[in-house]
Each structure stands twice: as C-alpha cells, then as structure tokens.
Copies of this chain bind each other. A is one copy, B any other.
Amino acid sequence: MAGSAFTIAPELVERFHASRAAARALTTASSALRDRALEAIQESVSAHADQIITSNAQDLQRGAAEGMEESLQDRLRLTQERVQGLADSVGVIRSLPDPVGDVIREMTLQNGLHVTQVRVPFGVIGAIYEARPNVTVDVTALALKSGNAVVLRGGGAALESNKVLVSLMRDALTSVGLPADAVTTVDDWGREGAQALMKGRGFIDVLIPRGSASLIETVVTESSVPVIETGSGIVHIFVDATASAEQAVEIIHNAKVQRPSVCNSVETVLVHQDALGLVPAIAERLVASGVTLHADEAIRELVPTAVPATEDDWATEYLSLDLSLKAVATLDEALEHIRTYSTQHTESILTSDMANAERFLTEVDSAAVMVNASTRFTDGGEFGFGAEVGISTQKLHARGPMGLPELTSTKWIVRGQGQIRH
C-alpha cells in the first residue's frame, strides 16, 4: 500500500478474508449450486417483502426528516411491486448462461503442451453505490451468477433496507450450503468502509461504482483497486446533409423522448447547414412531446421558441426532456464538437452518404457509434446480453454494454507431459 496513508481496520481485513474464503468456495461450487442460491434469494426476497418494506420505511422516514429530495426518496422507496420486481430480476439473472469455464482460446503448441484460456470469476467484487436498495440485490445476483463473492457499500440513506436485504441473502446462501460471506456489507463502517474498498488491493479484485457522475469520479480517482467505470452520456446525433427527413424526425424523437433519464438518450443534435430544412419538423415533433429546445442562433431562426443555448448546454447531460441543437457547416465541425463535448458513450450519424458514415464510425472515439439508428440501442438487453451489468465508458477490460462475461477474468491452463523450455 505504498503511497497511501489509509490503513484498513483489522476488523475489515478479517471481513475481507472471509469474503476471499467464500470466493474460493464459489470457485469450486457447481453452476447448479450457485443457481440454487439465486433461487433461494429470489424466494426469500419475495417471501419477506413486508419485512423489507418496513425497514425501508425507516430509511424513508429518516430521509424525509433530514429533508431528502423527493426524487431521491422515490429511488430509495420499495413497494410490494418493486420488491417483487427485485425478486423477479434475480430469476432472470439465474436463467442466463453461466460464463464461468467458457473456453476463449485453445491451442496445442509444437512441443505438445495443451493450452486453454478459460473464464474464471474475478474472486471478490466490491460495489459502491448510492441509496438504491435494488442495486444491493441486483449486483449480488450478477456477482453470484458469475461465480464471484461481493462486498457491498450502499448509500447510508438506505442503511436499514440494505441491512435486511443482505441478511436475507446471507441466510439464503447458507440454506443451500454456500458460505454466507459470499455477500458482505461494509455499510456499518460508513465512509471508512468505502475507503477500505477503494484501498483494498489484494482483498478486492475489482470495484464497480454505480450512481452519479461525482460518485464514479471519486471512486475512479481515489481507488487503487481496478475499477470498472459505468458512466454518463453526453450523447450526440449528427444530422448530415443527406439525412432522410422522416428518419431524422423519428430517430431524434425516439432518442430523446422514449426514456430521457438514461445515459443512452440523446442530449445534443448537430445539424448540417444543408439539412436545416429538416429542423422545423424535428422541433415540432419534440415540442409536442414536451421537450424544451436549447439552440444556437441558426436553429433559433427556424425555431424561435427555442431557448438560446449557452456553452454550458453543450457540456450538460440533461437526463430530462431538454435537448440542445446546433448548426454545423461540415462533418468536420460536427466531429470537432463531438470530440470536445462527448463523454464517449454513444454517437449516431443520420446520413445517406456512406463515405461520411464510414468517417464518422472510424473517427468518433465512443463506446458505440451508429449510422441511421437511435442511440437508445446501446443497451445490454438490446444486444441480447440478458442482464443489465451496466455500460462501460472506459476503454480497459470492457467497453459499452456489459454482459456477465465482463464480470469474469481469465486463466491460462497448461497441460504437459514433462515439457521443459529450451
């Protein structure tokens, strides 16, 4: 731990050792046994809905007393329906194929050595997230399905909810003969628990932050444990000179309006100056769905009701029914704008010019780049991965929508008959 002043408390070290031992048990546990654990978790969460909701009510009461924003209270709140949804999602994850043991590469060397690269669990996954108790169950199910133990650190505002959920899941593990310590929490250690996860090199194999951009930034910056960063999206659509009018109207509307609160929704539309004629129809369709337009001068001449856009608009992930629009003279100007403001999540070009499409696909450095499609398609479910592990905006290990295989590492297995190296 050179260069780090933080020391992990002995009690937490002991807990991390227990997680490691549980991870070892998961490594030798069959896929069927891990599935039985998920089944037990699903049943237990479903059967204890009342108890979960009672604990959640304590969190909500404390939150309300402390002046928690209504939108945050809503994310924290568990209802009968939401608890059943939580249980159901465990069932969905259980039904996915187990990535552990998959052979990635296999070869026999000239000396007769047989070499295989297989998927293995990471071991212990750490998760740091905000006051959303559904993440407690979701991350645990994904971790167990991929053979990993998990150490959780949820937001303090969900303390009671998480306590009961973790307790139920630990009991479920025990009920099928797996160690309870496959699911651990450091919530009772508050800020120090989060620090221990971030500085727990050797204890925690990979850390997954889930939540606001500032939480993710803090984890990425402070962690000495490798992080899988699931990030924010300032997502662009470029309407090229040759874009189909009908497609432009429908794709932009879909990318903004279908679900504005998610990271793959569009935030900025760049319009080639020769396509400005499409702007009134695009704007009309958006405004009819309640979208507030923020536009530069060229666009506002066509849509006078649009709010004047400022520099801030280009750099904002609205996650709401707001959209910024800007006219550009060339594809190059669009590429330059995207380079400046994109968070490298998803960008789409609408065009009939295949040379421009290829340039866009090659030169835009984002996790997903598209031609004539809604940016909302950057999604593990749409890509057929089954589970919502998240969308990585980093370039290491995983980029774009992640499936269960992205929650595994690999191992080289070499089988010989006495070979030595010459």
> Measuring CB to CB, which residues of chain A are less than 8 angstroms from any residue of chain B?
1-4, 24, 27-28, 107, 109, 113, 115, 117, 120, 122-123, 201, 205-206, 214, 217-218, 220-222, 224, 226-228, 244, 246-247, 250-251, 253-255, 258, 348, 357, 361-363, 365-374, 376-379, 382-384, 394-397, 399-401, 409-421
Q: List 18 A-B contacts (CB under 8 A).
A: A2-B218, A27-B365, A107-B383, A107-B384, A109-B383, A113-B377, A120-B365, A122-B396, A123-B395, A206-B395, A228-B396, A247-B418, A376-B420, A377-B421, A378-B412, A399-B410, A399-B411, A400-B410
Q: Are B418 and A250 in contact (CB under 8 A)?
A: yes
Contact of A365 among B117, B123, B401, B412 (CB under 8 A): B123
Kindly provide the distance from the CB of A236 to the nearest chain B CB, expressed in whole angstroms.
14
**Hey, which chain B residues are within 8 Å of A27, CB to CB?**
362-363, 365
Q: Are B412 and A367 in contact (CB under 8 A)?
A: yes
A379 to B419: give the CA distance in the assembly, Å: 14
User: How many monomers of this protein are in the complex?
Assistant: 2
A11 to B255: give the CA distance in the assembly, Å: 40
A24 to B339: give the CA distance in the assembly, Å: 11
Interface centre among A28, A372, A395 (most CB of B within 10 A): A395
Q: Are A374 and B226 in contact (CB under 8 A)?
A: no
**Hey, which chain B residues are within 8 Å of A418, CB to CB?**
244, 246-247, 250-251, 372-373
**Hey, which chain B residues are within 8 Å of A399, CB to CB?**
409-412
A395 to B411: give the CA distance in the assembly, Å: 9
Q: Are B226 and A201 in contact (CB under 8 A)?
A: no
A297 to B24: give the CA distance in the assembly, Å: 31
Q: Are A362 and B28 in contact (CB under 8 A)?
A: yes
Q: Are B24 and A411 in contact (CB under 8 A)?
A: no
Contact of A372 among B205, B214, B218, B417 (CB under 8 A): B417
